[in-house]
């Protein structure tokens, strides 16, 4: 699953009350499901029936499996009706047999009715407008985490793998699609019976069903048919994703050493939104919301295009890591998400070298992973999961981005060839099965002949971030002697609690040879680095650690900044800024590094600097110091934008295109008069031509306009939103309605949540948008209207969503307000999001206080 872009930095918990997720007993297990679903899209209901072939391993009189929000009307075992009891809190149904079922193969059958949801959980609907203005409704399913039980009674746990045969009834002229190809039979009443071929053994959360007034476009890659399924009239926008998927399938078949096993691979574009996810890796039927899959040349930016590749790469990697080989239980979710995140970056680097994806990951993914890991809200990558709530909590930046960074470190330590050999062994040995993390470590050790488990455990079984200090550099005999010692990097007291790791580390002098070592102790020790000159710690930034230098070593690096490789320049900027935030280094040292960035530096460097300046501005929101930081931002970044210009040039690097988008947005947020002037001029043209804004700057120009909107501007934007028929553009305008800096307009945006202008899926979007600039206002509104808001939310976000709205507040009263809300509404097991929000608020205040003097002096 690829998290929605707006949800990447947030950790959500599942619905309340807390639901037990103690695993089902193993005495009965499914072998094969035969399911028939007949939906009534207009009534938002469906009927279902199924026969499940099961293996009874131990004689038993009771059989328990999962079911939620289903009205079960009949249950039989081996053709005989049996009584059953639904436990709605536990999301289970238990059958009681008159006599014990003997060990062996049996059949269980159910009939039921269910509901089609408005939000993306279980079986759900997406309402949209066709290109001709007619109204339409698409149906789709979303089962991760455990929501397959809302579709049919199932053993809804990842280790209960089984084969699935699915049938469904679709209206005349509509297309239905699932994991496997279908045989379509026309029925006398004009409807169509879709009979899908039986799937390979797979986990229940990977089953998929969709239907609607859709069209399908295909290409072949070897023996595999790759398809893109869209609403009618926009399938050509899937051409880029199709071409990318074809390249990726060839890459993955080779890398994993196991060919993709299904006959087809569909990518389904849904014209809706989710509070939580952007795409889902259903085996052979990957679901995406449209912006994650379709490239609209008239409106999409270069970063949109790159994100499409990245998301497709992520979800296709899951066809192996997650679908072919699946974690045994949610404790090891990172085996799915960490590896898919790592593969999205690796394929981007190998197949699109002009994106500099490995370097970009140092500035983005690495920093995201460390962000929460360096606070009191940290947790191990492998975390024990006991409740459904905790499953939802596991989908966070530590699972994704830290997981990705740790895999990067292991590959860097073993070497790419040995690492891949271990992955191939793992795939071959456990295909169609379930695993735990130690089984992966064993295969990597067998392939490489190197110890992996020891140092890998340090990074997966405990939270936190190592801090390696490089000091006392001295050149002698053509080499440089340095002292290394290990501590812990943290942004608050809890995250600074002493802890040790075995940290594999590469060092080198600037432009010199590489020296490898492993820092295992907090005691300082000396290392001889080949060559004489300034020493770079964590060369290439392959290891998951912060690097700190003493004053002399740091000054030498700053003096030689331009000679560093790009990854090391980005890593040094990132480390220095973080060390200033944590109090481990004076802010002036970061300022010196930033001032060393030349005007013609890599666009990735300026994008990182832009983000850091935006972070500093946010720390002092609503204070005079924010105005000074914004003025500094304009002085620093304005000349860079002037150099690359507002208009994309033929043949320019994608990095420059992305930098332009970033700079326009940052300068607009800082109040740059020229950017605001251009935004107003472009929006005036937008009223008569929907594609008037050049795609390269469309999003930041609209963002600048919306942020600085007057009452009249906001009214114009609302009118555009109401008139827009393109669902992607309409959802974009909804977000913009919530972006206004004016609190009066923010209040008007919040009132839209109570009305009927927005769809149920769009209302959480505008709440999130308002929270971006007015967290206190959004939180207070949501608390006052909690029943309304919670009714709009997906189950996986319900306990954490309202809390997350206040997480960006700088108001000293917000922690007490969040705690009071949690005490009243959330059980103790559903408070992972609360812990994260409170830790973030506390860290932000401490960092603002810590940096205030240094920032004041620097900003002038």
**Positions marked active-site:** 315
DSSP string, 520-575: --SS-EEEEEESSS-EESSGGG-SS-EEEE-HHHHHHHHHTGGGS-HHHHHHHHHH
Among 509, 550, 491, 556, which residue's Cα sits nearest to residue 851? 491
Joined tokens for residue 62 = 């009771």
Pairwise CA distance, residues 287 & 131, whole Å = 21
Extract the tokens encoding 507: 């060092």
Q: Are 29 and 57 in contact (CB under 8 A)?
A: yes
Task: Using DSSP bridges, classify how beta strands 224-231 and 214-221 pair: parallel, antiparallel or unpaired.
Answer: antiparallel
> How far apart, in whole angstroms, are the C-alpha atoms of residue 357 and residue 314?
14
* Contact assessment for residue 240 and residue 269, using Cβ atoms and an 8 Å cutoff: no
Q: Answer for the pair 321, 343: CB distance below 8 angstroms, yes or no.
A: yes
Instruction: Kindly state the tokens that stand for 683.
Output: 């929006």
What is the distance between the alpha carbons of residues 782 and 301, in angstroms, rounded to a whole number?
33
First to last CA, the chain: 45
**Helices and strands: H and E segment counts in the chain:** 28, 30
The DSSP secondary-structure symbol of 75 reads: E
Dist. CA 12–CA 9, nearest whole Å: 10
Report helix, strand or coil for 169: strand
Relative to beta strand 209-212, strand 224-231 is: unpaired
Residue with tokens 């270069």: 302
Q: 199: which 2 tokens?
A: 């799937």
Q: Do residues 330 and 145 lie in contact, with contact meaning Cβ atoms separated by under 8 Å?
A: yes
Rg (CA), the chain: 27
Q: Provide the CA 541 distance to its chain's centre, in angstroms.
A: 22
Can you tell me whether residue 49 is helix, strand or coil?
strand
Tell which residue, 437, 537, 429, 438, has the closest CA to residue 480: 537
CA 341, 346, 351, 354 dihedral sign is positive
Given a contact cutoff of 8 angstroms between Cβ atoms, the answer to whether 15 and 798 are in contact is yes
Distances (CA, A) of 843 to 376, 608, 766, 807, 847: 9, 21, 26, 11, 6
Beta pairing partners, 519 = 503
Instruction: Tell me the C-alpha distance between 173 and 144, whole Å.
Output: 30
Helices (H), 752-813: 762-773, 775-784, 786-791, 798-805
């Amino acid at each position: 699953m690829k998290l929605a872009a707006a949800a990447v930095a947030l950790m959500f918990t599942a619905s309340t009350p807390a639901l037990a997720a103690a695993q089902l007993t193993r005495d009965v297990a499914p072998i094969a499901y035969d399911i028939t679903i007949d939906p009534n899209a207009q009534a938002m209901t469906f009927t279902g029936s199924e026969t499940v072939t099961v293996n009874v391993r131990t004689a038993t009189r009771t059989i328990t499996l999962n079911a939620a929000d289903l009205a079960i009307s009949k249950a039989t075992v081996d053709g005989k009706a049996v009584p059953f009891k639904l436990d709605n809190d536990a999301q289970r149904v238990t059958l009681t047999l008159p006599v014990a079922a003997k060990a062996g193969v049996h059949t269980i059958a159910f009939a039921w009715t269910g509901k089609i949801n408005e939000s993306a959980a279980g079986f759900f609907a997406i309402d949209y407008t066709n290109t001709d203005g007619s109204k339409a409704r698409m149906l789709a399913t979303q089962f991760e985490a455990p929501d397959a039980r809302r579709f049919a009674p199932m053993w809804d746990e990842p280790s209960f793998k089984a084969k699935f045969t699915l049938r469904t009834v679709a209206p005349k002229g509509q297309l239905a699609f699932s994991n496997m190809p279908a045989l379509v039979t026309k029925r006398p009443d004009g409807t169509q019976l879709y009979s899908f071929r039986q799937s390979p053994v797979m986990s229940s959360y990977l089953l998929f069903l969709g239907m609607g007034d859709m069209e399908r476009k295909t290409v072949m890659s070897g023996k595999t048919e790759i398809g893109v399924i869209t609403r009618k009239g926009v399938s050509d926008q899937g051409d880029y994703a199709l071409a990318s998927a074809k390249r990726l399938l060839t890459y993955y078949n080779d890398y994993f050493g196991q060919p993709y096993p299904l006959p087809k691979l569909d990518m389904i574009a849904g014209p809706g939104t989710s509070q939580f996810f952007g795409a889902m890796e259903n085996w052979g039927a990957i679901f995406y919301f449209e912006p994650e899959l379709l490239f609209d040349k008239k409106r999409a930016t270069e970063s949109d295009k790159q994100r499409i590749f990245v998301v497709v790469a992520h979800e296709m990697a899951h066809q192996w890591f997650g679908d072919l080989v699946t974690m045994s239980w949610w404790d090891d979710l990172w085996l799915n998400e960490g590896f898919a995140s790592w593969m999205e970056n690796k394929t981007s680097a190998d197949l699109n070298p002009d994106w500099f994806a490995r370097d970009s990951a140092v500035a983005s993914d690495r920093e995201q992973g460390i962000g929460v890991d360096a606070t009191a809200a940290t947790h191990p990558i492998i975390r024990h999961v006991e409740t459904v709530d905790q499953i939802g909590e596991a989908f966070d930046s530590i699972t994704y981005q830290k997981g990705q960074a740790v895999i990067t470190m292991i590959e860097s330590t073993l070497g790419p060839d040995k690492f891949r050999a271990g992955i191939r062994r793992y795939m071959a040995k456990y295909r169609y099965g379930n695993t735990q993390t130690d089984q992966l470590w064993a295969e990597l050790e067998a392939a490489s002949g190197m110890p992996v488990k020891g140092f890998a455990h340090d990074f997966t079984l405990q939270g936190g971030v190592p801090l390696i200090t490089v000091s006392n550099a001295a050149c002698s005999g053509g080499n440089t002697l340095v002292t290394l010692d290990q501590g812990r990097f943290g942004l608050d007291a809890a995250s600074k609690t002493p802890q040790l790791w075995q940290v594999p580390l590469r060092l080198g002098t600037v432009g010199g040879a590489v020296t490898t070592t492993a820092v295992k102790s907090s005691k300082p020790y000396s290392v001889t680095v080949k060559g004489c000159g300034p020493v770079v710690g964590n060369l290439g930034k392959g290891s998951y650690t912060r690097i700190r230098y003493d004053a002399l070593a740091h000054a030498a690096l700053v003096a030689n900044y331009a000679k560093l490789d790009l990854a090391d320049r980005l890593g040094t900027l990132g480390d220095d800024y973080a060390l200033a935030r944590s109090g481990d280094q004076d802010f002036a040292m970061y300022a010196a590094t930033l001032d060393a960035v030349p005007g013609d530096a890599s666009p990735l460097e300026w994008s990182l600097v832009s983000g850091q300046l935006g972070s500093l501005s946010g720390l002092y929101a609503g204070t005079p110091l924010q105005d000074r930081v914004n003025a500094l931002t304009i002085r620093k970044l304005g000349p860079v934008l002037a150099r690359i210009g507002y208009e994309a040039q033929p043949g320019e690097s994608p990095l420059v295109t992305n930098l332009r988008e970033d700079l326009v947005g940052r300068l607009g947020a800082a109040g740059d008069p020229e950017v605001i002037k251009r935004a107003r001029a472009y929006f005036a043209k937008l009223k008569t031509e929907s594609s008037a804004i050049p795609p390269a700057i469309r999003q930041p120009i609209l963002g600048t306009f919306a942020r600085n909107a007057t009452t009249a501007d906001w009214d114009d934007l609302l009118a555009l939103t109401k008139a827009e028929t393109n669902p992607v553009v309409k959802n974009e305008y909804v977000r913009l309605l919530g972006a206004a800096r004016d609190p009066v307009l923010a209040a008007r945006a919040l009132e839209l949540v109570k009305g009927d202008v927005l769809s149920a899926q769009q209302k959480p979007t505008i709440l999130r948008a308002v929270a971006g600039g007015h967290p206190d206002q959004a939180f207070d509104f949501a608390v006052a209207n909690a029943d309304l808001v919670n009714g709009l939310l997906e189950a996986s976000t319900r306990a954490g969503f309202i809390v997350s709205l206040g997480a960006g507040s700088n108001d000293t009263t917000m922690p007490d307000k969040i705690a009071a809300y949690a005490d009243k509404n959330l059980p103790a097991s559903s408070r992972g999001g609360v812990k994260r929000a409170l830790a973030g608020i506390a860290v932000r205040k401490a960092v603002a206080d810590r940096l205030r003097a240094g920032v004041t002096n620097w900003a002038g």
